[in-house]
C-alpha cells in the first residue's frame, strides 16, 4: 500500500499539468482576492458583507463552484487516462490488490486536488490582509479552518463522483468531458431550485447547496456554526455511495 501511494505521488508530481494547476491556482487566487472585498451571496441568495480577510476566503470558496467544475475535468482526465494507457492493468498484473490500487489513487488525488483549491482561496484571503488588516487573528484563523474542513469534505464528494465516472468509463478523454458535465448538472439543479423559487427542501441532499451553505458564516467565526449535522450526514451518504460504486465497478472490471 505504501509503495502504491509513493508511486501515485511520484506520477502526480511529475505531471506538468498538475504543476500548472499547483502554481497557477494560488497566483490566480492572489490576484482575484480584491474582487471579494464587498459582499457575496450565500446559499439562499442572501448578501453577506465581507469585513475581514477570512470573509474574503469564505467569499472565494462560495464563488469557486465553476472553477471546481473545471478542476473536476482535469481530475477525470488524470485517472481515466490510466485506464486508457493500461497503467492500472499493469498494476493489477504486477500482483497489487485492487482495493489497495483503488485506495491509493483515491487518497493521493483527493489530497492533491483539495490542496489546489484551498490554496486558491487562501492566497486570495492573504492578498487582502493589507486591505482589512489582521483584525482578530484568532477569530480569522478559526473561521478559515472551519470552512476549510467542510470545503475538503464537500469537494471530496464531487471529486469522488468524478473518480467513480473514471472507474466506470475507463477512458481519459470521455471522463474529462463527462466529469464536468455531471458536476455542472448538480450545480444547475441547485441553482434552478433557488432561482425558480422551488422549496429549499429539494436541495436537502444536493452537495453543491451544502457546499455553499458552509460559507454562510461570513467574516467572523461563531462556535454555534462549527458542527452542521445535516451537512455532514449528506456528505457521508454521498462519500459512501461513490466509494461503493467505484469499488464495485473496479472489482468486477475486466482489465486484460
Place of cell 425558480: 196
pLDDT of residue 221: 79
| pLDDT of the chain, 256 residues: tens digit per residue | 788 999 999 999 899 999 999 999 999 999 999 999 988 877 667 788 899 999 999 999 988 888 998 999 999 999 999 988 888 888 888 888 888 998 999 999 999 999 999 999 999 999 999 999 988 899 999 999 999 999 999 999 999 999 999 998 889 999 999 999 988 888 777 666 655 556 666 677 888 888 888 777 777 777 766 788 888 898 999 999 999 988 888 887 776 5
Output 141-147 pairs: Cβ under 8 A, ≥24 positions apart: 141/54, 142/221, 143/52, 143/54, 143/55, 143/57, 143/58, 143/217, 143/219, 143/220, 143/221, 144/54, 144/57, 146/217, 146/221, 146/225, 146/226, 147/54, 147/57, 147/58, 147/61, 147/214, 147/215, 147/217
Distance CA(183)–CA(178), nearest Å, equals 9
Q: How buried is residue 128: exposed, middle or buried, by Cβ count under 10 Å (0-12/13-18/19+)?
A: buried
pLDDT of residue 40: 82
- Helix, coil or strand: residue 128: coil
Output 190-194 pairs: Cβ under 8 A, ≥24 positions apart: 194/43, 194/44, 194/45
pLDDT of residue 178: 93
The boundaries of the domain holding residue 10 are 2-252
pTM of the model: 0.88
pLDDT of residue 141: 93
Count the helices and strands in the chain (H runs, E runs): 11, 2
pLDDT of residue 19: 94
Of 189, 195, 178, 179, residue with least CA distance to 211: 189
pLDDT of residue 165: 92
Per the structure, how many domains does the chain have? Answer: 1
Q: C-alpha grid cell for residue 192?
A: 434552478
Length of the chain: 256
pLDDT of residue 21: 93
- Helix, coil or strand: residue 90: helix
Q: How many CA atoms lie within 13 Å of 62's alpha carbon, on the beta-carbon side? A: 27
Report the relative pairing of strands 39-41 and 47-49 from DSSP bridges.
Answer: antiparallel
Distance CA(125)–CA(132), nearest Å, equals 10
Distance CA(63)–CA(76), nearest Å, equals 22
Amino acid at each position: 500500500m505504501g509503495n502504491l501511494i509513493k508511486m501515485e505521488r511520484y506520477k502526480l508530481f511529475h505531471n506538468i499539468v498538475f504543476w500548472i494547476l499547483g502554481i497557477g491556482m494560488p497566483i490566480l487566487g492572489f490576484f482575484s482576492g480584491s474582487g471579494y472585498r464587498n459582499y457575496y451571496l450565500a446559499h439562499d441568495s442572501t448578501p453577506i458583507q465581507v469585513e475581514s480577510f477570512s470573509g474574503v476566503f469564505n467569499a472565494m470558496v462560495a464563488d469557486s463552484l465553476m472553477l471546481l467544475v473545471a478542476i473536476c475535468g482535469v481530475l477525470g482526465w488524470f485517472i481515466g487516462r490510466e485506464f486508457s494507457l493500461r497503467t492500472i492493468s499493469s498494476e493489477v498484473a504486477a500482483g497489487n490488490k485492487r482495493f489497495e490500487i483503488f485506495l491509493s489513487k483515491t487518497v493521493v488525488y483527493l489530497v492533491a486536488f483539495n490542496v489546489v483549491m484551498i490554496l486558491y482561496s487562501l492566497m486570495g484571503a492573504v492578498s487582502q490582509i493589507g486591505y482589512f488588516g489582521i483584525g482578530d487573528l484568532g477569530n480569522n484563523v478559526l473561521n478559515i479552518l472551519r470552512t476549510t474542513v467542510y470545503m475538503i469534505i464537500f469537494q471530496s464528494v464531487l471529486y469522488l463522483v468524478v473518480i467513480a465516472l473514471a472507474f466506470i468509463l475507463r477512458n481519459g478523454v470521455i471522463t474529462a468531458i463527462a466529469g464536468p458535465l455531471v458536476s455542472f448538472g448538480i450545480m444547475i439543479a441547485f441553482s434552478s431550485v433557488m432561482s425558480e423559487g422551488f422549496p429549499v427542501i429539494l436541495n436537502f441532499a444536493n452537495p453543491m447547496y451544502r457546499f455553499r451553505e458552509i460559507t454562510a458564516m461570513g467574516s467572523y467565526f461563531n462556535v454555534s456554526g462549527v458542527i452542521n449535522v445535516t451537512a455532514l450526514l449528506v456528505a457521508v451518504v454521498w462519500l459512501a455511495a461513490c466509494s461503493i460504486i467505484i469499488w464495485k465497478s473496479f472489482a468486477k472490471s475486466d482489465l486484460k
